[in-house]
Every structure is written in C-alpha cells, then in structure tokens.
Structure 1
Amino acid sequence: MTRHRRPVLQKTWRAGARTSNSTHQLSGKGKGDRRQDRFDHGYSLGYVRGFQAGQERYGTSFDGTSIILPVYNQRNQLEQCLDSIFSNTNRPIEVIVVDDASTDDTLAYLQRLSGQIRYHSHETNRGLASAINTGLMMSKGSTICILNSDTLVTPNWLSGMLNCLHSNIEFGMVGSVSNRVDGEQQIPVPYEHIKDMYDFAAEYNIPDASRWHSTDRLFHVCRLMRRSTFEANGYFDERFENSGFADEDYHLRMRLLGLKLIVSRDVFIHRSFQASLQEQDGHTQSSQDKHAAFFQEKWGNAYDWLQRIRTQHGMLAGRQCQAFYPSQVAVTGLNDANYWIENGAKRPVQGELRIPIVRVSQLELRGWPTGVPIEAAAVAQKWSKQHATEGKIPDGAVFKTELGKYYRREGEACRELVSDHALNRWGFADKVAIRTEQERSDLTEQLPIMAHPVIHSYHI
C-alpha cells in the first residue's frame, strides 16, 4: 500500500467567517506557495472525508470473491499468478496481496499495480499466518479465497470451486487439486511445459459433483470459504507463524463448528516448483518441532476432542467460535471499551474496571450480540464471587479435580478447559480451586473451553 504522510489538518473555512487575516498571510507568498497551500488544505480535507467514509463502509461486503495472496520474495511468481487470475477468472473478484516484508522488488511492483489490486506491506516479517490475517481483515467479498502466490489458476477454476462450496451449507472450506501438494489433493499430470498445462486444465476442469469428497485437512495451495465461515471461525493463530500447523489448527476449529473440509477434484490449479512463503521459513526441523509442540500445548489430543464433541454434543453447522469461549469474563477489542460476557452477549461496562481483561479481535468481539450495559462495580462483585473455595462450587469458578483436569462452572453446567494454554489465555491460571470429581459430577458437562487465537496485530 502506497505510504503517504498523514496530513496536518488546517483550520477549515466557515461560511461567513472573516478571511482578511488569512488573505493577508497569503498575499506575501509567491504563486507556487499559494498553490501548495491550497493543495495541502484540499489534501487535508480529502483525508478527513476519506477516513470518515472508510469508517462508514467498514464491514460492508460485495457479492464476489476476495482473493488473498500472501507473498514473500516471490515477485516473478506473483506476477505470473496475477496474470493467470485476470486471464482465467470470469466471476466478480477483488485481489488482495499482502507482502510480508519482502526484500526483493515486490513492493515496487505492487505500487505499479495501484488501482488494479489492493495490497498491504508489512514493515517486518511476521509469518504466513499473520499475512493471511491481514488479507482477511482487508477482504470485502461474500466468499474468500486464500491462494498461494506460486500458483497459476486455470479456466473455470473459481466457478468450479464456488459450485462446490455453495452446494451444501455444511461445506466449510473447499480446496482444489494440484500437481504439487501433499496427500490426496495431488494428481499426476502429463505435461512438462506451461503452454501444455492450460490444455490439460481445460479438459480436466469439467464440473462433476461426484468428484467432491470430504477430508480431514486441506493443503494450503488454494482454499475457498464463505465470509460467514470466516466470521464464525475467526483468524489464524499467529503463533504458528509459517508452519503448516496454522492450517491444521484453523481446519480443526472449523470442524469443531460442524463444518466439513472438501476436496473439489474437478478443479485443477498448477503450482510451480518454487518454494512457497510457508516452505521458505516454516519447514526446518527446529521450526516444525517448535510448532508441533505448541499445537500439542494448545490442544492436547486434538482429535480426541473432535470425537468427544461429535459424540456428546453433535456437530451442528451454525456454531460460532464464541460457543467455545467462556462466559463471565471481561474482554476488550481495538479501542478502550470493555465488555462483560454473560449469557451469550457482551454487556458494555460503564466505569473503570479493575479485574483482568482479555483482549480479543474485533471480529470475535462482533460475534457476541450487544446486551444491556452493566456498572463496573457490579462486574467486580460478580468476579469476586467466583473465587469462593468453601461450600458449593460458585458460578464462574475455575476448579481442578483429582484427575488433573480443569473445569469452569457456568450456571448448572461445567465446561472442561481444553488445555493449560486455554487456562492461561483466558486469565484463569491464578483463580483455580481444588474440587472433587464427585462435586463435578453434580453438574452437566457442556462444550469445552478452547483458547482464542494468538494475534499480534490487534488492528484486526
């Protein structure tokens, strides 16, 4: 994104105001200076009006697809990818490129494309998960495609994937097949040259619902989802950086919402043999070990959780991530406003709050409907009652049983915390009481509490 200086706002003109002083100040200036003054004044007004218009339009979407291209030092591959998108896409789209602080001429190339695409350049390298999140934040489409920048899309690619996605409300995310991916999305190809690839793809990309099937994971070459799915599932966890565990985590959370991952085997997308952003920095053994350890720290036995929830609570499409977040906690988002989460709603807190406050993304914050305001003193009283260690387990209390598991009481139910990481992310580590399994068994077990994703850039 081209960087402009933020203008210093000039005093605005008012109808009927006296102008003699201003005129006197200008009279001693040359023609060029006066022109510059008028330019600065107009630029300042335009900035203010544009900023206000941007705020008013924030959150609006268009009936089309946002294509997000994270990129790091792949300027040539990016240019070829963009050419293929503009040549082979006949649906309404917007293209969003997120440059993760490339050291080549990627940014200069993007600046030359101003008006054809939207883009943002990170000032420092933050990793693939962060680059995707920035693109998700910028997106406006009713559907969202996350596409590798080392790919070439093919005729009817987007139409085919949209047909698959919209055929079933339970389809959460759809992925294509390719010549260079992991697992079941890889297919053998007969061509050796790009000019022959397009002939192959034209014959291959024939709509055929019998070639759609569910899977446990999707490779990161090309994935499509509804905006509503993104809003329900939230952002990628940035602690996974460039690792494939960022995808594993995102897909797991989507499946916990009752949504399916689908391979659309009637859509082929070519992938070059250049290393992707993810593979350049994410596939060293030490990096993989670190992110595998964090995945274990965050989820424990992740797929045991998936099976337990499916068996005990059912996999109901339509859930949102907030269904796995705790009640009776204080949260905040981008600005200074604080909210008390209670009974599935966020209640604006009036007054200064002196209890732990958890920062969440604006997207997650909007996922809770707004309830009636509550005074800070009332919140503090509710919070303090959760810490009682004698008698009946108080509502909102966090406790640990002799089996080493952590739970939180909410009403007449208890909810197990998925991991110590979830305990820490919600600020519960300092308020754990010791209770018995017998006491816990008196409560009805409901959906577990998982950690909200780690996000370093809270402008999203």
Structure 2
Amino acid sequence: MLTSIIVLTLNNRDQTLRCLHSIRTFTDSPYELIFVDNGSTDGTVEWLSAQPDVKLIANGRNLGFAAACNQGATEANGDFILLLNNDTIVSHRWLSVLLQCLHADARIGIVGPKSNFVLPLQKIDVDVGNEGRYHLFAQSYNRHNPALWQDLCALSGFCMLLRKSTWQALNGFNEAFAIGGYEDIDIGYRALKSGLFLRLAGDCFVYHEGNRSFSANEIDMYGVAAVNRRLFIRKWGFNPERLILNFDPAFLPDRYAAPHPHHAPLAPEVPSGWYGMDMNGCVYRVERGRKRAIHSYDAFCRLNLSYDRVGRCGSALLHSLPDGLPLDGVSFPHGYPDVFIARDPAGGMHSISFGIRYPIRDEPSMVALGLRPEEAIPASFEQLWSLPEGWPLRGNVWEEYELYDYRLFRGPNGGIYFSEGQRLRPLVWEETLTRYGWSNNNAVFLPAELFNRTPIGFPIH
C-alpha cells in the first residue's frame, strides 16, 4: 500500500535537500513524494522541479500551511497521507513504525511520532545535536514497540500520518487558520469528536529543527499563532491548551465527564466549584459530582477561604455525593481546587485552571472575568513554574480566553447565570445564591455577542 509523503517548503533550500535525502535513504515502505512550495525565491522550486521522483506544486505566494497541505492531499494517490515539514530529518524505519501504529486499530485516526521540537506531550529530551548522532539514536529507538504507544488529545502537524479516507472524511485542514498554527489541533479535535483516536507512536522519533520557515521568512510566528488561537476559541469554546498541555482523558472517544467543554450534560446535576458545610461544621468543595473535604482550619486558611463563600446547602446534599481527593493546601496542585487564582511571592496573579497556569497581566482582565484578588491563594514560584504555562490573560479576554468556570455572570436579558463546563446555567430562584455561597453582587455582565454564542445548560434550582 502506498503512502503519499507531502512536504511543505518555503525557502530554506538546503534544509529541503537534507529532508529529501533522508526520506530517500531511510523510508522502508512504498511511497510517493509530493512537494508543495509556498513561494520560495531561493532556488528551491528550480531544484525540486529537476528531481525525477518529486511531484511539485509550486505556488507563487505563501498560501499558508493548511492550504498547501490540502493542495498536496488532492494530488495524493496513496492510501495514506503523511504530512511532513521540510525542517525535519527522518531516519531508520520511521515510516514502517508509524504505519504499524496506524494499522493496529481501525479507530486510530491520526498518528504522530516523538520528537525534540514538538508539542510538550510528544517531546522527548535527547541529545541529537548533529545529524550523525540523531541517526545513531534512531537506529536503536525506531523499533516496533506498542508498549510505547499513547493516546493523546492533540498531535503536531510537523509529522502527521493518517488514512486518506480519514483525511477526506474530516475535509482536511481548515484554511481559516491562515499561514500556520492550530490547524493541526483543530483537525485532531475534529477526529476526536468523530470517534477516532489520536495516537502517539512513542516507538518512533523524527528530528525537527522547528520554526525555520517562520524565522527565515520574517513571519511573526506569535502574532499569527495569537490570531489562530482566537479562532480556535471562537470555534470550539475552550482554550486549546486543554488539548496541548495536559492529558485529559475526557476528550477521548467513549469517555464522559461533566461539566466538560467536550460533552453536553446528560441531565441536571449538582453544580461544581462551590463550598458547602455539613451539620458537623465540616467544609467541602464540590467538583464534578464529588465532595472534597477540607479537614482542618489550617487548610481552610491556607486556601484563603472565608465563611461568606461557604453555602448553606444542607448535609443531605453533601452526604449524597461520593468523596473526592481532600483539599489540604499543601500538596500542589492536587490538594488545591481544580480552578483557582494564585498569588506569587512578588504579587503577580495567575489563573490556575485544570492543571494549566495562565499569567494574569493586568487588573482589567481580572475585573472582566469576575476574578477577585482577595480570593487569591498564595503559591511559591516553584509551585507555579511546575505547571505548564498557557497564554497570558490580557487585552480582550472575551476573545483571548474561554468563559471562566465557576463564576456568576449577568446576561443581557438581566438573568443570572453560573458558568460551568463552558455553558451558562440559569439560576432559578434567589435562594439558590445562599444555598451555594454565591452573591449576585459579584455577577459580571456578559457582552451580548459572547452570551449569544455560549450554550445554555440546565437550570440550577
């Protein structure tokens, strides 16, 4: 069976030559070569056009990564499509090992390798400072070993293998992600939503120099990424860091968690992200259908809690919930809430959301999201830097960040809503506020545009 290897180029002729040489030398499965050039001016097009084994698509200008990949896939004759950046070097058994991973299960949608410059969960720290050292490493590393495979929620497009039928079913890359960035996260998420798995072939390593096309062609990589990240948030309603920086199994097919941006709620449930006290005076935090006990007053103080934030929901409700991991304010981050505000020793503020740290750059961002400095929990730099870092909170937070979980908002219609799992749950009665320790004085007004595009969840009584 044939694999169509589609390589994207934009100048960097020497790098393209090196990549092509490695493909010819080390590819051990039948393949065809399709190169798509996005407006090179350094002789790349002329050189590629003289290669007898290369099918060349030469664009007169930079159409962007997504559009170029779509062009190449249209010309592909293979049963499989392998997207590859030209700033890569492949090595021993690279393609056969990736194909073995893809063939293992019909529900595997996309496969990607380990690398040195890649998304964090695909990265492996190894000294491959020169090409000879890399090939020596790959000679022993690239060997079929299913024990090293892992399901992820995102895979990098620098080297991505999938069936041509899968590519066609997903309609390829979304070309709205212009130039480059997040089109690979988007297609991966669409694969997950369609019931397919993204699998990391941990038994394959492909060298990636990284970002050479952006740098060599003076493209503002971070500016382009910022625009495309906003597009992802607008399209899917949650931060893409949830897929990229942490492994959340609830994003995988056949998994369910509520409240969660990937899943519509099945039925009305007890809300998450609030504190309650039972008749014995024990305080709990309720998260995702479980109660997390705060066993001591010291822990209560370490978490910077106040009794005005503790609801009067009654013991019966709390005792009906299964126990979760206790909150101690010591073991970081597991002994802390799943969403909270942290203050570093220098006074800097950080949003900690589901294991990811988002630095808060200015006070207007906090005010817009309804975050109160007095709720911030002190944390050391060591604790904070131990978490993966997401994009900073600044500017227009409604475009730069997902709807903040566990906050009260006031809609344009005057109603009060509780945000949970990227949905707005209407509050039915005034007494609901007291029950869960909330105050409508803290409700933040939602812009009409954001309110209208946010799903409405089940009411909270």
Q: What's the TM-score once normalised by structure 2's chain length?
A: 0.52
Indicate yes or no: 2:7 matched with 1:69: yes
Task: Look up the equivalent residue of 1:158 and give its one-letter code.
Answer: L
Query: How far 1:284 sits from its partner (Å)?
Result: 3.5
1:269-319: CA deviation from partner (whole Å, max 9, x where unpaired): 112366145995665443232222222232223789965665679xxxxxx
**CA distance, structure 1, for counterparts of residue 414 and residue 32 of structure 2:** 54
Q: Confirm or deny: 8 A CA contact 2:237 2:261 kept in the other structure.
A: no
Decide which of 194, 218, 226 is 2:155's aligned counterpart.
218
Q: Confirm or deny: 8 A CA contact 2:214 2:220 kept in the other structure.
A: no
Query: How far 1:402 sits from its partner (Å)?
Result: 11
**CA distance, structure 2, for counterparts of residue 230 and residue 402 of structure 1:** 45
Task: Look up the equivalent residue of 2:226 and give its one-letter code.
Answer: D
User: Residue in 2 aligned with 1:173?
Assistant: 110
User: Residue in 2 aligned with 1:140?
Assistant: 77
- Give secondary structure in 1 for the equivalent of 2:140: helix
Summarize the alignment of residues 226-241 of structure 1 with structure 2, pairs less than 5 Å apart.
Answer: 226-241=163-178
Q: Confirm or deny: 8 A CA contact 1:67 1:147 kept in the other structure.
A: yes
- Give secondary structure in 1 for the equivalent of 2:48: helix
- Give secondary structure in 2 for the equivalent of 1:239: coil
Indicate yes or no: 2:156 matched with 1:156: no
- Give secondary structure in 2 for the equivalent of 1:136: helix
Moved more, 302-311 or 244-253: 302-311
**CA distance, structure 2, for counterparts of residue 279 and residue 258 of structure 1:** 39
Q: Confirm or deny: 8 A CA contact 1:244 1:278 kept in the other structure.
A: no
Task: Look up the equivalent residue of 1:260 and give its one-letter code.
Answer: F
- Give secondary structure in 2 for the equivalent of 1:125: coil
Decide which of 204, 207, 213 is 2:141's aligned counterpart.
204
**CA distance, structure 2, for counterparts of residue 179 and residue 112 of structure 1:** 32
Moved more, 65-74 or 268-277: 268-277
Summarize the alignment of residues 373-412 of structure 1 with structure 2, pairs less than 5 Å apart.
Answer: none
Task: Look up the equivalent residue of 1:261 and give its one-letter code.
Answer: L
User: Residue in 1 aligned with 2:187?
Assistant: 250
Distance of aligned partners of 1:147 and 1:252 in 2 relative to their CA distance in 1, 3 Å threshold:
same
Indicate yes or no: 2:56 matched with 1:107: no
- Give secondary structure in 1 for the equivalent of 2:176: helix
Query: How far 1:210 sits from its partner (Å)?
Result: 0.5
Seq. identity, %: 31
Indicate yes or no: 2:32 matched with 1:94: yes
Distance of aligned partners of 1:218 and 1:281 in 2 relative to their CA distance in 1, 3 Å threshold:
farther
Q: What's the TM-score once normalised by structure 1's chain length?
A: 0.52
- Give secondary structure in 2 for the equivalent of 1:161: helix
**CA distance, structure 2, for counterparts of residue 143 and residue 281 of structure 1:** 33
**CA distance, structure 2, for counterparts of residue 225 and residue 278 of structure 1:** 28
Distance of aligned partners of 1:203 and 1:102 in 2 relative to their CA distance in 1, 3 Å threshold:
same
**CA distance, structure 1, for counterparts of residue 223 and residue 27 of structure 2:** 40
Distance of aligned partners of 1:192 and 1:245 in 2 relative to their CA distance in 1, 3 Å threshold:
closer
User: Residue in 2 aligned with 1:85?
Assistant: 23
Summarize the alignment of residues 349-360 of structure 1 with structure 2, pairs less than 5 Å apart.
Answer: none
Indicate yes or no: 2:233 matched with 1:290: no
Q: Confirm or deny: 8 A CA contact 1:75 1:104 kept in the other structure.
A: yes
Indicate yes or no: 2:196 matched with 1:259: yes
5+ residue gaps in structure 2? 243-249, 252-259, 267-412, 418-448
**CA distance, structure 1, for counterparts of residue 128 and residue 62 of structure 2:** 36
**CA distance, structure 2, for counterparts of residue 196 and residue 279 of structure 1:** 25
1:347-388: CA deviation from partner (whole Å, max 9, x where unpaired): xxxxxxxxxxxxxxxxxxxxxxxxxxxxxxxxxxxxxxxxxx
**CA distance, structure 1, for counterparts of residue 62 and residue 85 of structure 2:** 17
Indicate yes or no: 2:49 matched with 1:122: no
Q: Confirm or deny: 8 A CA contact 2:2 2:80 kept in the other structure.
A: yes
- Give secondary structure in 1 for the equivalent of 2:111: strand
1:34-59: CA deviation from partner (whole Å, max 9, x where unpaired): xxxxxxxxxxxxxxxxxxxxxxxxxx
- Give secondary structure in 1 for the equivalent of 2:2: strand
Distance of aligned partners of 1:310 and 1:276 in 2 relative to their CA distance in 1, 3 Å threshold:
same
1:158-215: CA deviation from partner (whole Å, max 9, x where unpaired): 0100000010111110100112223021112234321222111101112110100011
**CA distance, structure 2, for counterparts of residue 191 and residue 284 of structure 1:** 25
**CA distance, structure 2, for counterparts of residue 282 and residue 183 of structure 1:** 23
Distance of aligned partners of 1:279 and 1:139 in 2 relative to their CA distance in 1, 3 Å threshold:
farther
5+ residue gaps in structure 1? 1-62, 314-400, 405-419, 425-436, 442-460
User: Residue in 1 aligned with 2:122?
Assistant: 185
Q: How many aligned residue pairs are there?
A: 266
Of Structure 1 and Structure 2, the greater helix share is in: 1
Q: Confirm or deny: 8 A CA contact 1:128 1:278 kept in the other structure.
A: no
